[in-house]
Amino acid sequence: MIVLTVCNHKGGTGKTTSAVHIAAALGLSGYRVLVIDLDPQSFLTRMMGVEEPPEAASSMMLFQQEVPLHAVSKTKLKEFDLLPASTGLTRLMRRLSKPTDVLWSKEALAEASSEYDVILFDTAAAITVYSLNALVASRHVLIPVTPEYQPVIGAEQTFQTSMMVQGKLNPDLEAPLFLFTQVDGRKRNHYQYRRYLRNRYQNRVLNSVIRTNAALATTHSDGTTVFEHDPYSRGARDYANATDELFQRIMKGEQPDVAAQEEALPVSQPAQP
Ligand SMILES: Nc1ncnc2c1ncn2[C@@H]1O[C@H](COP(=O)(O)OP(=O)(O)OP(=O)(O)O)[C@@H](O)[C@H]1O
Ligand SMILES: [Mg+2]
């Protein structure tokens, strides 16, 4: 079972859009996928047209003693299952203040592999007990990042947080992968920030990018994704390609990306005489 956290400490970088469309692309390929909405603001839940769930059918159940994931009822959507967020997450957060409270989700997911092939966590734009729970329960991290100043800073901080979690709480966690989102090829600063991250993080940056696309910005709130309502759009194609690349990378393990390394070399090489 693949467990992946989608996070960036900066808001509005395409986390929720990425979680939904990667889950949908995998669902369409036949994988059994669960998305867990751990954002107390519930945008993903609302985007999928799901009403405020009873707490017993929400992601709050991951934080109950002795409640394994299979015992919690999920919302069945067309391409994947959803464990929706409840507004009660905000209230619950105040009670989750012990150091061991970062371990709840990992315990709840312990026997989930008979039910799902892939579990994706969508997280809020902050370091909270929920995002830490997601990172502790995951092996993989995807950082969606718009190639602009604040999202890039947020992405680098998220990378640091993930490495801290790897060092102190979850040695199985792999270094995050970055996915550029809302890319506008006409903007010079987008080009510069893409180059900066690629040089710095090399093969941790996916080659596929998600361009700006009106079809992705339009919410349908009926549980469908761009793959139904606009399957030939750039958004559908970009997320299909990014999902392919992401999962090839995850499945293959760490294959060095020669092209990215070559691109980075000039930075560290002395100038030619
Ligand atoms: N590729 C894209 N093209 C156009 N609009 C996009 C694209 N990706 C996301 N958006 C829009 O940008 C906004 C922010 O996206 P999204 O909600 O996915 O970000 P987020 O990182 O989850 O935000 P938050 O931090 O608030 O949870 C949304 O209105 C979404 O529809
Ligand atoms: Mg979001």
Tokens of 142: 């995807």
Distance of CA 81 to the CA centre of its chain: 16
The first and second tokens of residue 52, run together, are: 């405020």
Q: CA 19 to CA 37: how far, in whole Å?
A: 9
The per-residue pLDDT for 269 is: 37
Ligand 1 atom at minimal distance to the Cα of residue 212: 3
Choice from 17, 41, 218, 220 to test ligand 1 binding pocket (greatest atom count within 8 A of CB): 17
Q: Which residues have C-beta within 8 Å of that of residue 258, sequence separation ≥ 6? A: none
Write down the residue that tokens 């800073």 correspond to.
153
Element (H, E) at 92: helix 88-95
Give the Cα separation of 242 and 195 in Å (integer): 18
- Would you state the structure tokens that stand for residue 25, as one six-digit string? 């692309």
Contact 34, 80 (CB under 8 A): yes
CA of 64 to the centre of ligand 1 (A): 31
Q: Which residue has the tokens 């994706």?
A: 120
Q: Which atom of ligand 1 is nearest to the CA of 18?
A: 18
Question: What's the pLDDT at 261?
Answer: 45
Per-residue pLDDT of the chain (273 residues; tens, 9 = 90+): 999 999 999 999 999 999 999 999 999 999 999 999 999 999 999 999 999 999 999 999 999 988 899 999 999 999 999 999 999 999 999 999 999 999 999 999 988 888 999 999 999 999 999 999 999 999 999 999 999 999 999 999 999 999 999 999 999 999 999 999 999 999 999 999 999 999 999 999 999 999 999 999 887 777 789 999 999 999 999 999 999 999 999 988 744 444 444 444 333 333 343
Task: Give all strands of the β-sheet with 205-211 in edge-to-edge order.
Answer: 75-76, 81-83, 33-37, 118-122, 2-6, 140-145, 177-183, 205-211
- Ligand 1 within 6 A of CB of 191: no
